[in-house]
Chains A and B, each alone.
Chain A
Amino acid sequence: MGILEVRNLTKTFGGLVAVGDVSFAVKRGSISGLIGPNGAGKTTVFNLITGVYKVTSGEIVFDGRPIHNLEPHVIANMGITRTFQNIRLFKRLSVYNNILTACHRNARYSIADAVLRLRGFKAEERRMREDADALMEVMGLTRWRNSVAHSLPYGVQRRLEIARALAVKPKLLLLDEPAAGMNPDETQQLMSLICRIREEFNCTVLVIEHRMDLIMGICENIIVLNFGRKLTEGSPGEIQTDPRVIEAYLGEGAKIGA
């Protein structure tokens, strides 16, 4: 059984079927891809999984438990975190404080403990700061430690957003177009970063991307959406040669480069 199972998932906006009767499973420990042309419903699927949107019908099962229509923060705390297609950092905070904020679950002290500086406050706060520093080191963000998030280069902002998602110690990490706006060199480095994240953080990754080199390079299984429907699913080799996929993307007769 997969870590994530999506069954007959449907989401409509008024008359528009953004996601229609989509089913797929994500294998534990895998890196999987979710692709499709613009407006295919990929981001909507992420918004449904993370509870940002309520599902119209269908179910989403994570780790054996149904999670559809739970509150976003509950889902996050169960172990699913994400990045956003249009980056959503805490813009005016430093890199360090972006990450430190996301480490909030690593401490248990209450508001009274904080206000009166009681019990484990000092020790727990120190541990959170160590966690944040370690994560910054891992993600190569240390040299930007005190820079304000919105002033960072685009690629670094994307990386910071991944770091912030990892601070919650997710079991499933959802990346929405992490390579958007990156040059081929940065994309290459992002690919190896995603692979290393899977190893080091012991988590499953589901990634939306338009860059086929990235998708074909790191994904074991790829789900293809088109007009809100699932078109097909398979290994990179299968997807690359599937005429339906090629047609959906580029019209008849074209070929997806790897």
Chain B
Amino acid sequence: MDWFYIKGILILSGINLMAVLGLSLLTGFTGLFSFGHAGFMAIGAYTAAYLGVKMGLPLTVALLAGGFSAGLVSLFIGKLTLKLKGDYFCIATLGFGEAIRLILDNVQTFGGARGWPGIPIRVDLWNVALVNVVGIALLVNLVNSRHGRNMIAVREEELAAKTIGIDTFRYKMISLFISAVYAGVAGGLVGYYTGFLQPKMFSLNKSTELTIIVIFGGIGSISGSVLGALLLTALPEILRAFALWRLVVYGAAVIFIMISRPEGLMGGKEITWKGIASLLQRGLRLHPAAKSQAGAGAQASVGDRGGDRDGNGSASGSGSGDRAAQSIKPSF
């Protein structure tokens, strides 16, 4: 395996990761299943390619515009279906994804089913990595805010979320919009990496693959989605040597993980700096004695989702000297 080959796999993983991050917000944090995210990728891909090739816009603008147009379309779908009970949305996204593909098959301006060759190759490892770093940072910030917590509340218990004043419809729309923007940007990257777009690149298979990665990585875990995207994009490529058998092995690997860890790779936990630091500390202390303990240490690197990232939560209660806290003592 030479560097060129590895680089290719990394870029593909990065493109997938961008779409998976968006879906992770929708499925992992908000609890909505979509089987049409390939459709949002397609919208982003064709828009970005059109703006770059036909109108000469720079890559960043084209990618953002692609993401934004996917987001706009998602708002339309959400408006129609998110007020209804959960399953309608899922089915609508499935129909939407296929509809987009069929439309693109028949629009000759973009080459129809034969595809659209000759898109300039502008994506390399560095800008894919940059897009993902920004994507992850923004998502981590969102998830660790009141808005992210409101989305999680929708996932956990929608009725209770409403009765504590959360506009659940609005948060579903926001989550859908952001996830579609991510998928759209990912789609834009596809075109500028392969230099070629074809509607069948964005089939139901693609949507399903994204959902599998989110569940594989673990619902409600960004680090899980990252690991999932890297592993599950790389795996089929690495297995290419086995030709015929690779998809069987791929399927078996996914099934094996889901049976042994039904809550997904990360099971709702996150890898945090604090966790890694304490793991390293432990590792140093234990080093001469027992290597076998390192396995146990790996658990420690996993921080509790939504814990105090700033670490000031536990100290603050007493500091505020709340009037009520002093006059009422905890009972039973």
Q: Which residue of B lies closest to A80 (CB)?
A: B163
Q: How many A-B residue pairs have CB under 8 A?
A: 156
Q: A94-B304, A192-B331, A196-B328 are in contact. Are A111 and B174 (CB under 8 A)?
A: yes
Cα distance, A168 to B294, chains bound together (Å): 44
Structural contact, B316 and A126, CB atoms closer than 8 A: yes
Q: Interface readout for B166-178 with A: 1 if CB under 8 Å, 0 if not?
A: 1110000010000
Among B164, B325, B328, B332, which residue has its beta carbon within 8 angstroms of that of A190? B332
B109 on interface, CB distance cutoff 8 Å = no
Q: Mark out the residues of chain B between 151 and 174 whose CB falls within 8 Å of any chain A CB in the assembled complex.
A: 152-153, 156-157, 159-160, 162-168, 174
Contact of B313 with A88 in the complex, beta carbons under 8 Å: no
Q: How many residues of B contact A (CB 8 A)?
A: 45
Please tell me if the beta carbons of A130 and B157 are within 8 angstroms of each other in the complex.
no
Q: Are A136 and B146 touching (Cβ within 8 A)?
A: no
Query: What is the CA–CA distance of A201 and B324 in the complex, to the nearest angstrom?
Result: 8
Contact between chains at B138 and A93 (CB < 8 Å) = no
Residues of A within 8 A of B292 (CB): none
A62: Cβ under 8 A from any B Cβ:
no
- A138–B328 touching, CB < 8 Å: yes
Distance in angstroms from A218 CB to nearest chain B CB is: 14
Determine which of A76, A142, A146, A155 lies in contact with B162 in the assembled complex, contact meaning CB atoms within 8 Å.
A76
User: Of A51, A89, A102, which is in contact with the most chain B CB atoms at under 10 Å from its CB?
Assistant: A102
What does DSSP make chain B's interface, helix, strand, loop or mixed?
Answer: helix
Residue numbers in A under 8 Å from B159 (CB-CB): 52, 72, 84, 88
In the complex, chain A residues 177-224 whose Cβ is within 8 Å of any chain B Cβ: 185-186, 189-190, 192-193, 196, 200-201
**Contact for B152 among A73, A101, A117, A139, CB less than 8 A:** A101
A101 and B330: CB pair below 8 A?
no
B328 contacts across to A, CB distance below 8 A: 138, 196, 200
A119 located at the interface, meaning its Cβ lies under 8 Å from any Cβ of chain B in the complex: no
Interface presence of B260 (CB below 8 A): no
Q: Which residue of B lies closest to A192 (CB)?
A: B331
A150→B59 CA distance, assembly (Å): 48
**Contact sample, A vs B, 30 pairs, CB 8 Å cutoff:** A52-B159, A71-B162, A89-B160, A90-B152, A91-B156, A93-B156, A100-B149, A101-B153, A101-B164, A102-B164, A104-B146, A104-B150, A104-B166, A111-B174, A114-B142, A114-B146, A114-B148, A129-B308, A130-B320, A133-B313, A137-B325, A138-B324, A138-B330, A140-B330, A140-B331, A167-B164, A190-B332, A193-B331, A200-B328, A201-B324
What 6 pairs between A and B have smallest CB-CB spacing? A140-B330, A133-B317, A114-B145, A189-B332, A76-B165, A90-B156
List 20 other contacts, CB 8 Å, given A52-B162, A111-B147, A114-B142. A51-B162, A72-B162, A73-B162, A73-B167, A81-B164, A84-B159, A93-B156, A101-B146, A104-B150, A104-B164, A105-B165, A114-B147, A121-B145, A125-B146, A126-B316, A138-B328, A145-B314, A192-B331, A196-B328, A201-B324
